[in-house]
Chain A
Amino acid sequence: MGFPDRIERSVEIAHPPASVWAALTTAEGLGTWFGEAATIDLRPGGLAEMTWTSGEKASMRIERVEEPTVFGYTWGINGLPDDDPRRTYVEFTLEPAGSGTRLTVVESGFAQLRDDSYRKAFDGNIEGWGHELGELVEYLDAIAA
């Protein structure tokens, strides 16, 4: 079984880079083809959010803004808890191709956890609830005494 760390796709789009850039980096664009609504603060370190009527939400932290060629952000990994610090990095690269654009998207970091860190992360996680609940019990015991 191969464990994919990185996903890469390239497509030729029959529209100029400026149009593709707008679709990728404006609330109107992101909220149309990707999410069902979106907000974006377009600058490195800025936040963007896409929402769906199902209640799902994707929160992105923008890392690279080099109009109209590179747009990069990080976001959480589907299926992990919201507060999990692990995120994947998504980078869109736009290159003129004739009258259109060659758009490449690379998402990396799916296998970012290393052999030696996962035991630690894991043990931290399993101890987490047991520890919190233990403290709650101690607290309740103390106020009851």
Chain B
Amino acid sequence: MPSRPDIESVAEEVFTALADPTRRTILAELAARGPATATDLATRLPITRQAIAKHLALLAEAGLVAAEPGERRRVRYRLRSAPMQIAQQFLAALARDWDSQLASLQDHLNAAVAAQSTRKNEGKEPS
């Protein structure tokens, strides 16, 4: 495993993590309410503690959550936001819709010219 994951592999891990509904739920809970132990999450969410522990281990390995030091059953996990921001940059590039914007620019220029010639024609009509 590379000690310094590149941006692509970080984004890939985020998308893999988010592909699972249980992991989405866990991440959303940590984002909304802050660090929590597997037991805390099991009491709040309709998911067994075992399943939560398994997903937390996977999320920790992907760098999306970090375990705070503590006794085994009292280890709290917190969200690590940086990998999400890397993935957001990828999504931002996909969402930047220049095709629509440029089509809109062309429509705008065509409309401006059409309005001008209409005004000219209207000006000529009375004569």
| A7 x B86 contact (CB < 8 A) | no
Contacts A4-B93, A9-B99; is A126 near B66 (CB within 8 Å)? yes
- A33 proximal to B (CB < 8 A): yes
| A119 x B4 contact (CB < 8 A) | yes
- B92 proximal to A (CB < 8 A): yes
Contacts A23-B105, A78-B96, A113-B7; is A3 near B81 (CB within 8 Å)? no
Chain B residues, Cβ within 8 Å of A78: 88, 92, 95-96
| B contact face: mostly helix, strand, loop, or mixed | helix
The distance from the CB of B70 to the nearest CB of chain A, in whole angstroms, is 15
Chain B residues, Cβ within 8 Å of A126: 66, 78-82
Q: Interface size bucket, B side?
A: 35 or more
Mark B8-31 against chain A: 1 for CB-CB distance below 8 A, else 0: 101110000000000000000000
Chain B residues, Cβ within 8 Å of A32: 108
Chain B residues, Cβ within 8 Å of A5: 93
| A125 x B82 contact (CB < 8 A) | yes
Q: List residues of B whose CB falls within 8 A of some A CB.
A: 4-8, 10-12, 66, 78-83, 85-86, 88-96, 98-99, 101-102, 104-110, 112-113
